[in-house]
Structure 1
Amino acid sequence: MKSKTVLITGASSGIGEAFAHECANKGANLILVARSQVGLAEVSKKIQEKYQVQVALIAMDLSVEGAAQELFQQTKDKELDVDILINNAGFGKWGRFEDFDLRTYKGMLQLNINTLTELCYLYLGGMKIKRSGGIINVASGAALMPVPYAGVYSASKSYVLNFSEALYNELEETGVTVTCLCPSGTKTNFAAVANNEVSVDEKQYETAEHVAKVGLHGFLANRSYVLSGKQKMLLSILPRFLSRSKLLKLSGKIFKKIVNNKKIGLMEGR
């Protein structure tokens, strides 16, 4: 990855920030994207003090329509050639379906699905011409099963997983890799965004640094998807041994209790 250019969305904190440090440690130059200019500046300062790499910052809200095209145009205008795209930006809401308004859900779907898809489409062409590089799409452990009380979020992450794996297969002979990272519980500010009334069981959570390492290792090993976190074995085994109806009943029972008790024990976070 030395001297390659990596674009990371949602890079001002959590898994995105961890990815930035991991890539810089391997000698990659960075384009960091997030809503917070202040947050991006803080991350950039830490990285440039520690690593001899170039860091470009772009502050923008990717949950609005047209943001992907605007970001692509900005990188073109700055003559920044993207070798690796890490689609990390995303958010979810945790509670009963009707607890949140449609505007919130539209923003979630725009960011988690539409912007991610558009960014893959826009940057993929250059990668195919060079026959190198690739994409890491960050989904969630919630992509592996229906999750009542986070239905829109889990459905959006199922899209990311299925889309990423399909694209991986399409690109097998092009030199371009697509890896989907599915984290389970991760110590970030995701829980605060998902529902600020819900507390977090820290013992169930993995560090963002570990999750980024797992994701990057999987990408460099040409894996179509990787799981991370302390619940990864459970998440990978249950869908294999339970019918869809039994899995749904179990999932609903667990997450209804979580919501009613105002406590998250199995939730990916960014």
Structure 2
Amino acid sequence: MSKLKNKWVVITGASGGIGKEIAWKAAEKGANVILAARSIDKLKELENAITSRFGVTASSYQLDVSDIEQVQQVFERIFNETNGIDVLVNNAGFGIFKEAHEVDVKEAKAMFDVNVMGLIACTSAVLPHMKARKAGHIINIASQAGKIATPKSSVYSATKHAVLGYSNSLRMECARDGIFVTTVNPGPIATNFFSIADESGTYVKNVQKFMLKPEYVAEKVVNSMLTNKREINLPRWMNAGSILYTLFPRTVERFGKHAFFRK
């Protein structure tokens, strides 16, 4: 029997991309899924498909994670309507690829509000309950950009660096209460993320053959649920590059300069 059978899994940013795939695959393994995103129509469509296909409980909540008050209200409703949250997947996020001098301060703030503060707000909402139960799993979708920054992603990389730093500290704190914390650090994924991040289409064109399939990433995430997995790094060759960057930053920047500017 699947370890996810009858467990409650919350996924933010569940209306598309890997969030949608994570919800589908978790339900396939018997989990009850709680879908959260700004687009309630897309969530309802997914909810109906999941309940029809797998016979599990699925519910939808309209949520903008950058609205801290709304986060608190929505999670209070979730706890009132469920038996508790076993897994939280902080997936909501977006990026804008521009050189630092081109990024509007409002765009930068919006990225931090969603990618960092929204993630922290959702985590803060579930932590007291997980600590009381001495069980739970928080999965934070970060990025390889949080390990190796490249041109045209200064702010986006900064948000993902923040997610990694927060998660690493959180992991040590939560270990005392039997709560797992996993960070997922994928390279580029073939989703609509790039419709905002890369309006010109240049980056997608340059890296298309290296892009990960959302179904593949989601499978890795769901298989890690309720296991003490520290990180999921995809693809392996890109993660090897980030390790080299940590050890030899000047050398990697020197020889990788041409490739880095292909955004």
TM-score when normalising by structure 2: 0.89
Which 4+ stretches in 1 moved above 6 angstroms?
Answer: none
Deviations 1:11-42 (A, max 9, x none): 01111011101211121111101111121122
Partner AA of 2:260 in structure 1: F
Unaligned runs of 5+ in 2: none
- Deviation, 1:117, is 0.9
Which structure 1 residue ranges, 5 or more long, are not aligned? Answer: 260-270
TM-fit CA distance, 1:152:
0.8
1:4 to 2:36 alignment: no
1:79 Cα offset (Å): 4.7
- The answer to whether the aligner puts 1:169 opposite 2:172 as a matched pair is yes
8 Å contact from structure 1 (residues 22, 213) kept in 2:
yes
Query: TM-score scaled by structure 1?
Result: 0.87
Give the 5 Å matches for 1:66-81.
66-79=69-82, 81=84
Q: How high is the sequence identity, in percent, across the aligned residues?
A: 32
Q: Does the 8 Å contact 2:171/2:181 carry over to 1? A: yes
Greater share of helix: 2
2:79 pairs with 1:54: no
8 Å CA contact 1:185–1:229 kept in 2: the answer is no
Q: Distance in 1 between matches of 2:130 and 2:143?
A: 25
- Whether the 8 Å contact between 1:67 and 1:115 is mirrored in structure 2 is no
SS of equivalent to 2:216? helix
- Residue identity opposite 1:122 in structure 2: A
* Amino acid corresponding to residue 224 of structure 2 in structure 1: G
Deviation string 1:117-167 (CA, Å, 9 cap, x unpaired) is: 121112011111112221000000111122221011111111111211221
Are 1:246 and 2:235 an aligned pair?
no
Q: 2:100 aligned with 1:97, yes or no?
A: yes
Cα distance in 2, alignment partners of residues 88 and 49 from structure 1 = 24
Asked if 2 retains the 8 angstrom alpha-carbon contact of 1:65 and 1:110, the reply is no
State the match for 2:197 in structure 1.
194
**Any idea what SS the aligned residue of 2:15 has?**
coil
Aligned-pair Cα RMSD in Å: 2.0
Alignment match, 2:152:
149
Kindly tell me the number of residue pairs found equivalent between the two proteins. 257
Give the whole-Å Cα distance in 2 for the aligned partners of 1:53 and 1:118. 27
Render the CA deviation track for 1:166-214: whole Å, top value 9, x for unaligned: 2112222322111001111211111111022124243111111111122
